[in-house]
Amino acid sequence: MKKLIIMGGYGNGSVVQSTVEDINAVEKQWELLGFLNDGDLTEVNGYPVLGKIDKATVDRYLADPDVYFFYTLISVKLNYRYLSKLTDLQIPEERFATIIHPTAVVSKFAKIGYGVCIQPFVSVGPNTRIGNHVQIFAQALVGHGAKLDNYSYVANNACIGADVHLKEGAYLGTNATTLEFVSLGEWSVTGIGSVVLKDVPDYAKVVGSPARVIGSTK
């Protein structure tokens, strides 16, 4: 059986933990060993904290070919500034787990990368391309032909139109909706309930209906 270590803690880490437990309730697929966390936690929801998020700790577990990792420290708060930590760990892409909740509906024609988490009741249409370390939260809709680049983040109940492009690190907020064929720029943030009718620039913060630029994520 494959073993899993979640890097993070309370927050996105516990959401991934819950998804893994739901998967195992249907068919036992993962042995969740615990968490890596840089804080003072000793456990997360009953699972042990195995050590810090550092290369020495990771390398020790990498020696076991059955161990996989999930990196949860990508969010609107942490933004691109925490990616150097992930890069420094030098974990091969194929050792990152992709976690798909059993209630999600994912087209067999979708292409999904490594380190992806797809949460309950998500719908992913055909011919979508989802990169590495993408998180899609509960009840989101990803339209056909959409492209979600590495580190993009789709919050719960968001709706992505057909052939939309979320560039690297783009964040689409809760209940936000996009028109077809638009793009969300690199490390941009689209706020809660926004309606995106045109392309969002790189590093822009947009809100409203229709969405308008109010600031920068830099």
Residue 97 and residue 117 in contact, taking contact as beta carbons nearer than 8 Å: no
Tell me, what's the pLDDT at 218?
85
pLDDT digits (tens, 9 = 90+) for 5-36: 999 999 899 999 999 999 999 999 999 999 99
Strands 117-118 and 99-100: parallel
pLDDT digits (tens, 9 = 90+) for 87-128: 999 999 999 999 999 999 999 999 999 999 999 999 999 999
From the centroid of its chain, how far is CA 160? 15
Query: What average pLDDT does the chain have?
Result: 95
What structural domains does the chain harbor? 2-95 (3.40.50.20), 99-216 (2.160.10.10)
Residue 180 and residue 161 in contact, taking contact as beta carbons nearer than 8 Å: yes
pLDDT digits (tens, 9 = 90+) for 190-199: 999 999 999 9
pLDDT digits (tens, 9 = 90+) for 196-211: 999 999 999 999 999 9
Confidence of residue 84 (pLDDT cuts 50, 70, 90): confident
- Distance of CA 45 to CAs 42, 57, 138, Å? 10, 21, 20
The answer for residues whose C-beta is within 8 angstroms of residue 15's C-beta and 6 or more apart is 72, 117, 119, 137
**pLDDT higher than 80, residue 82:** no
Tell me, what's the pLDDT at 107?
98
pLDDT digits (tens, 9 = 90+) for 42-52: 999 999 999 99
- How many CB atoms within 10 Å of residue 69? 23
Q: Residue 135 — left, alpha, or beta (φ > 0 → left; ψ -120 to 50 → alpha)?
A: beta
Please state the pTM of the whole predicted model: 0.94
Tokens found for residue 118: 């797809």
Q: How far apart, in whole angstroms, are the C-alpha atoms of residue 108 and residue 166? A: 21
